[in-house]
Chain A
Amino acid sequence: MMTTRSDLGFERLLSAIAQDLIDASEEEILTTVNEFGLRPGMKGSVALFGVTFALRRYIHKPSAFRTGKSSINVGTTRGRRRPKGDTPSST
């Protein structure tokens, strides 16, 4: 009986599924997303929430993978203090 270490087996599974996702046709991805009720091409669609837009508090929080002052500010580090009354930029 084969006993697979849990983390190794899990990573193997994730890699296999990820490769399937990479290889899947664009049509299959879009069809499945549409079946779920999302319309990625429509204005205001939440399909790309977290990808191209997010809640403001998530845009300006420090990246979980970057710490310290050496982080390059490319949109995932803490934002500048906003003057009172300044309207936020669109997300």
Chain B
Amino acid sequence: MKTSIKLTKLPVDIERISTLPARRALDAGLVTEADLLRLKVIARLYARGLPSHISWSDLLQEAFTRMLEGSRKQPAGVPMVAFLAGVMRSIKEQYWRQYRKGARQRLKSLANIGIIELQDEELTDPAPSPERQLIAIEQMAMINGLFEEDLPARQVIAALYDGLTPEETCSTYAMSTTDYDSTRKRIRRAIIRAGMRFEP
């Protein structure tokens, strides 16, 4: 027997659980669409430092989730975009800490059943995982690839990578302050464009 049920008003809870956290934040007036565009680009940037099975959308939505559920609170005086960018960064670091912890536990388990021999220093080695280092190397190549025809941009990127100040960068690469600033702006725009590319 066919029955027809008309739902003229979705229960609030069903609406809530099927709406992305960023959408809920937008609807609540906590962020603007311009903020969300900026955060999308930042999320796509930060996600470059994560394994490929973790999407930038996961990172972004998790940051909004933690803000909405109250586990991360916006400090006074910190703008929402800067706050959420910080949350995304800390989520990323948390992921790698748990990844390393898991890797060490697996090593210990293998050692306990005699498959491998483990030295004590292997468990306390502060070096990052090979996967994280490999991701960094690959992503650096991809970012540099965005500026194949732009040597000053690649120089500034190398300087940022090495932690040089703007003054040190200008001195190292015989660059004027004006050229340095305009190069940073070009890099920023290219990253924004890269962050807006459609991804299904």
Contacts and interface: CB of A to CB of B under 8 A. Distances in A.
A1 B135 CA distance: 23
Contacts of B95: 65
A51 B136 contact: no
A40 B136 contact: no
Interface string B22-64: 1110100000011011111110011011000111111111100
A76 B54 CA distance: 13
Interface string A1-13: 0101111011111
B139 A10 contact: yes
A1 B196 CA distance: 37
A46 B40 CA distance: 12
Interface residues of B, number: 71
Given A22-B42, A48-B37, A63 B65 contact: yes
Interface stretch (B103-111, B113-121, B185-193): B185-193
User: 3 closest Cβ contacts across the A-B interface?
Assistant: A10-B136, A9-B161, A50-B57
Interface of A: 2, 4-7, 9-18, 20-22, 24, 26, 28-30, 32-33, 35-36, 38, 40-41, 46-55, 58-60, 63-66, 72-76, 79-80, 89
17 contacts: A4-B161, A14-B48, A18-B85, A21-B42, A22-B38, A29-B37, A51-B22, A51-B23, A52-B22, A58-B57, A65-B58, A66-B62, A72-B65, A74-B17, A75-B20, A79-B17, A89-B10
